Amino acid sequence: MQLKVQYYALMREQAGRSEEMLETAAATPADLYVELTSRYRFTLTREQLKVAVNSEFSDWSRRLAAGDAVVFIPPVAGG
């Protein structure tokens, strides 16, 4: 299944890219984060993140579908 993943802020720097198309067997955002953390050594734990799928906040256990756009959201700091 192919997914689009976008990276922001610290995770963008750690992944070394701002987005990518990814071939993955991950069924949920939680699975996907485990997979990507082993690849990019993200320092943020899942408990520190939120996740968005197709530009809306999502559960970590949502079933991902081909073509979904996933964003892991580090602790925010606006203003």
Rg (CA), the chain: 12
Nearer to other proteins, 9 or 27 (CB): 9
**Helix locations, 1-79, DSSP H:** 9-15, 29-40
Nearer to other proteins, 64 or 71 (CB): 71
Whether residue 72 contacts residue 18, with contact meaning beta carbons closer than 8 Å, is answered with: no
Closest approach of other proteins to the CB of residue 13, in Å: 6
Nearer to other proteins, 23 or 68 (CB): 68
**Site residues (CB under 8 A) for other proteins?**
6, 8-10, 12-14, 16, 41, 43-45, 48, 52, 55-57, 71, 73-79
Closest approach of other proteins to the CB of residue 78, in Å: 4
Whether residue 10 contacts residue 74, with contact meaning beta carbons closer than 8 Å, is answered with: yes
